Amino acid sequence: MRTENLELFIRVVDLGSFAAVAKLLELPRANVSRRIAELEAELGIILFNRSTRHLSLTPLGQQFYKDTSRVVDAWTLALNNLTAATNAPSGCVKLGMPPSNDIRILSLIAEFQSRFPDIEVELHYTHNGYQDFHRVGLDIALHYGEVGASDLIAKKVATSTKKIIASPGFIERYGPPNVLQDLSVMPCACYRWPSGEVEDLWETNTGRVKVNRKIVTNNYDTLLKAIIDGMGVGYVPALLAQSALKNNEIVQILPGEELEASDAYIVYPKRDGLTLAHQLLVDYLNLEIPKLISSSRFS
């Protein structure tokens, strides 16, 4: 099996069409289609549902993508590391980050720079995610939620769940909620999205509730601090809350309620000629962020 065809398959999934890959790689569209057909014939399965308007993965294609994308990424990183060992990559990479300043993300950057000490990483914290690519000249961004820009590549790296949490002091004062609907009267701390929408309708596997919002902020660090200080029940990504949970500053409440998950993406411009420094950081984060998010699961 040709590694190049596996890489091509992953690019088609990431970009969403044969035409987009053909344009990116400057190949005839028929060439891309033929090589994917060769891969399907070799595997003996159909990877894509094809129509004139839409391309989507079959169930077997989804499983194959899940199983192979990490292998190909690890192979690419290994090759880049070999190149880096002889070429000493350097330069500056501007990385966009959500405003929640999780120190473990910084530890990943520190580890990356210990491997490549000549690469400068500039962190830009933003609520606008990938929308800041053109405004501030980002090279890469870590983004939660859907990416609605056709000129960007979005590689899904993990899925992070959300949890309902409160401080021990809050529970002592108000008592624990027994059912989801109790949150319609208990004080709650809510997040305001960059769109202006306040996240005060919380949906779980058992239903949804319009919560009693008492404090609203557009910054996750501030939101978590408000929850720790007992100002309200909160609804936050598990990754953000893990450190406070381990330090017993917060507790999970209503643990039977499974809340919606948000996908995490590494996003970068759809262009050829990424510098080695950019590609090394993309490949590194693509491998390490899933481990970080996996370790943030609540027990």
Q: List C-alpha distances in Å: 180 to 166, 245, 255.
A: 14, 21, 10
Whether pTM exceeds 0.85: no
Q: In order of start, what are the domains of the chain with their CATH numbers?
A: 3-83 (1.10.10.10), 89-157+263-295 (3.40.190.10), 160-260 (3.40.190.10)
Structure confidence at residue 90 (pLDDT): 84
Instruction: State the amino acid at position 138 in one-letter form.
Output: L
245 CB-contact burial (10 Å; exposed 0-12 / middle 13-18 / buried 19+): middle
Nearest Cα residue to 263 out of 287, 237, 299: 237
Q: How many residues does the chain have?
A: 299
Residue 188 has pLDDT above 60, yes or no: yes
pLDDT tens digits along 213-269: 999 998 888 999 999 999 999 998 877 787 888 899 999 999 888 776 677 888 887
Distance CA 210, CA 203 (A): 9
- The first and second tokens of residue 53, run together, are 């308007």
For every residue of 102-155, DSSP letters joined together read: -HHHHHHHHHHHHH-TTEEEEEEE-SSGGGGHHHHT-SEEEEES----TTEEEE
Contact 242, 296 (CB under 8 A): yes
Residue 293 has pLDDT above 70, yes or no: no
- The first and second tokens of residue 80, run together, are 């880049």
Q: How confident is the model at residue 179 (pLDDT cuts 50, 70, 90)?
A: very high
Of 134-143, 191-200, 203-212, least confident by mean pLDDT is 134-143
* Distance spanning both ends of the chain, measured CA to CA: 41
Residue 296 has pLDDT above 60, yes or no: no
pLDDT tens digits along 98-145: 766 556 678 889 999 998 999 999 988 876 666 667 677 788 888 877
pLDDT tens digits along 33-68: 889 998 999 899 999 988 766 788 998 988 898 888
